[in-house]
Each structure stands twice: as structure tokens, then as C-alpha cells.
A and B are shown apart, each in its own frame.
Chain A
Amino acid sequence: MSMMTERDRAAVRQEFEKLAGPVRLVVFSQELLAGDLCRQNEALVREVAELSDQISVEVLNPAIDRERVAVYGVEQVPAIVVEGARDYGIRFYGVPTGYEFGNLIDSIVVASTGQPALAEETLATLRTLTADVDIKVFSTPT
């Protein structure tokens, strides 16, 4: 069963016209912990990746690919890391459907361009950060 409607696909294709560089979606799946959700997540990511040849997908299993998963610091499944020219620190825990799906698409575009849509003042302030900032955003599909 498809995770996306034809209308979703058309809208995402239009968004992906903004892509300016390769993006890698690293999917974290562990069948024994959350089989259904991990399968849904993987299917969704693959459907999204089909909409642009700039997007590649890699699947990691925390029980097997321990070292690589540790480098990403991902502690839950299902999860997605959205990487552009570097690992920008963008993670999704859970299947990003509904409202979160828009955020996933937006994160792919910004990771691809490397150009955040933020005010100049915000960018200047962020450049002065001397400590790490961990932002958790709890969301729901609706």
C-alpha cells in the first residue's frame, strides 16, 4: 500500500525543484522493537526518495550496525537522519506523516541547499553559539 497520495507526490515534486545538492536519508529500523512502524517508515522514505534522483536512502539496524548508529546518536526506532553536505543534526523519531511529513520535506530541501530560511539577525546570533543546543520538538500527525 502506498504511503502517499498522488496529490502528495505532485506537491513534493514541486518542492523538490528547489533541491540543489545530494541528500541522504538514513533510516533506522529494528524489526524486533517496532516492526510495523519501521516498515511504514522505510516505505515512506523510499517513496519520497523516488521523487528525486538527488535523494539516496540507507537503512541501518541498531542491533547490527552498532558503531555507525552510535556515531549518529540515534536512540530510537523508527528514525530518520536527513543529511546534506554534512550531517546537520536533523533527526525524526517516528513515522513522519501528516503535519510532520511537511517538516520532513522541508528538512530535505534545506539540507540540500544548505541555506536556512532565517532572518540575518538569527543567523548572526547562531554563529556566536559556544555551547551545543539540543532541540526536541514533540509533534503529532494532526
Chain B
Amino acid sequence: MRLAQHMAVASERVRSTTIEATEFPELSRAYQVMGVPKIVINDRVQFEGAVPEKDFLGAVLQAVRAA
């Protein structure tokens, strides 16, 4: 996803891993992937589907706060 990898370039704190769900069924099961794209941030905040940049950033902040 474009936003995740651009955020990784913008901040040394951010890492973006794109996972091909069908090639990694165990990971997909572990993260309960039903639809794609599915985004999981810090294993805490998750959502499905493309979202606007502002909402994606909100999810990042929520994940950090939840830590």
C-alpha cells in the first residue's frame, strides 16, 4: 500500500511490510485476513480496505497510543 511505504520513508519509526496473503496462509490466518487490503498496525489496530491518508494516520496514532 502506497501510504504505508511512504510513511516508512518519512519516519525512521515506521516500517511497512506488504504480505502476499495467499502465499502466507499461516500469517493470514493468524491475523484473520478475510478481505484485502487488510492493514494491521503494531498488531493492535486493524482495518480493511483503502482509506484516506488522514484516517490512515489516525490509525497509526491510535496504535501508538494503545502501546
- Residue count of chain A within 8 Å CB distance of chain B: 44
Q: Could you say which residues of chain A place their CB within 8 Å of the CB of B10? A: 116, 118, 122-123, 126
- CB <8 Å contact, B18 and A91: yes
- CB <8 Å contact, A94 and B53: no
- CB <8 Å contact, B18 and A100: yes
B19 to chain A, nearest CB (A): 5
Q: Could you say which residues of chain B place their CB within 8 Å of the CB of A82? A: 5
Q: Could you say which residues of chain A place their CB within 8 Å of the CB of B43? A: 134
Interface of A is mostly: mixed
Distance A127 CA – B11 CA, assembled complex (angstroms): 6
Contacts of A95-142 to chain B: CB distance below 8 A: 95-96, 100, 103, 106-107, 110-111, 114-119, 122-123, 125-127, 129-141
- 21 of the cross-chain contacts (CB-CB < 8 Å) are A76-B19, A76-B27, A89-B15, A89-B16, A90-B9, A91-B15, A92-B18, A100-B20, A118-B6, A122-B57, A126-B7, A126-B60, A129-B14, A132-B14, A132-B15, A134-B15, A135-B15, A136-B19, A137-B39, A138-B21, A138-B28
A46 to chain B, nearest CB (A): 19
Q: Could you say which residues of chain A place their CB within 8 Å of the CB of B38? A: 137-138
- The verdict on A37 contacting chain B, using a C-beta distance below 8 Å, is yes
Q: Could you say which residues of chain A place their CB within 8 Å of the CB of B41? A: 133-136
Cβ contact of B13, chosen from A107, A131, A141, cutoff 8 A: A131
Distance A129 CA – B15 CA, assembled complex (angstroms): 13
Closest to A126 in B: B11
Q: Could you say which residues of chain A place their CB within 8 Å of the CB of B22? A: 94, 140-141
Q: Could you say which residues of chain B place their CB within 8 Å of the CB of A106? A: 2, 5
A93 to chain B, nearest CB (A): 5
Q: Could you say which residues of chain B place their CB within 8 Å of the CB of A126? A: 7, 10-11, 13-14, 57, 60
